[in-house]
């Protein structure tokens, strides 16, 4: 299984720790934090936008150097928290790079990269876009074959950005092993308590498509509601206690472009 290959050291790795190809621990994410602080803009509506036009001109080479450094690293040799931060940051950095290379675009879904068989895809997620420890990987591989099955932490859903208004926020800092729990908790609370997470419109209740997509992984509807209640403010928790069904699942795919309102 892919995740086992990448996250568990092979016998060869155990006897060859001084490989000249793979970087030694620790991996620094300071370059990504610097870039995110430069180009991510929090807005009063609670949705962070990205200055893609400026980023493309002045920050793209630094982003490439950062991604290159991750591709030279060995996440299988890292402690668990460092692995999670590594994969989240690689996913977000590569998503940014894919958009920047083709900007201006209205939505990341307009970037149709073929899957490894050459089949056209709706968006860039199935194409092999990075190579880590000798394995070609897609964004979907990082999400569905490494992070979610290996670590089984629903807070990870709130850390991965698809560069869309309906996604959880792209934070103005990289994820780090030392602050990971705090960062994931903050991301979960921010999304659950934002209208993108769940919205009451009279008698109707709308929720993010994220909860429909991952309902089985949560353990069903009741588990989704328990998860939402755990991170909700007291007032939202009282409202959620009366919810028996979700009337609609919504998602806004428009790009988080600071140049657009």
Label residue 181 by pLDDT band (50, 70, 90).
very high
Domain coordinates in residue numbering, the chain: 2-6+28-250
pLDDT in tens, 116-171: 999 988 899 999 999 999 999 999 999 999 999 999 999 999 999 999 999 999 99
The CA distance from 188 to 174, in Å, is 16
Residue with tokens 């620790």: 26
Predicted TM-score of the model (pTM): 0.92
């Amino acid at each position: 299984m892919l995740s086992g290959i990448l996250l568990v050291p092979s016998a060869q790795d155990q006897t060859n720790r001084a490989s000249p190809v793979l970087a030694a621990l620790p991996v620094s994410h300071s370059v990504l934090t610097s870039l995110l602080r430069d180009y991510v803009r929090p807005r009063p509506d609670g949705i962070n936008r990205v200055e893609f036009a400026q980023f493309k001109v002045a920050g793209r080479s630094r982003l490439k150097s950062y991604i290159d450094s991750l591709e030279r690293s060995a996440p299988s040799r890292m402690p668990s928290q460092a692995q999670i931060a590594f994969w989240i940051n690689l996913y977000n950095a590569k998503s940014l790079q894919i958009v920047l290379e083709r900007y201006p675009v209205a939505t990341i879904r307009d970037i149709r990269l073929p899957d490894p068989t050459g089949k056209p895809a709706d968006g860039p997620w199935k194409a092999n876009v990075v190579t880590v420890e000798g394995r070609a990987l897609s964004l979907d591989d990082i999400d569905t074959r490494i992070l979610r099955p290996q670590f089984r932490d629903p807070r990870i859903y709130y850390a991965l950005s698809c560069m869309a208004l309906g996604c959880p926020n792209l934070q103005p800092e990289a994820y780090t092993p030392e602050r990971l729990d705090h960062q994931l908790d903050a991301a979960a609370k921010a999304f659950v308590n934002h209208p993108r997470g769940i919205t009451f419109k009279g008698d109707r209740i709308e929720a993010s498509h994220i909860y429909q997509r991952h309902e089985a992984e949560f353990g069903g509807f009741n588990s989704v509601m328990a998860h939402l209640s755990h991170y909700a403010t007291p007032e939202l928790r009282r409202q959620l206690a009366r919810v028996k069904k979700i009337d609609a699942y919504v998602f806004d795919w428009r790009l988080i472009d600071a140049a657009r309102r």
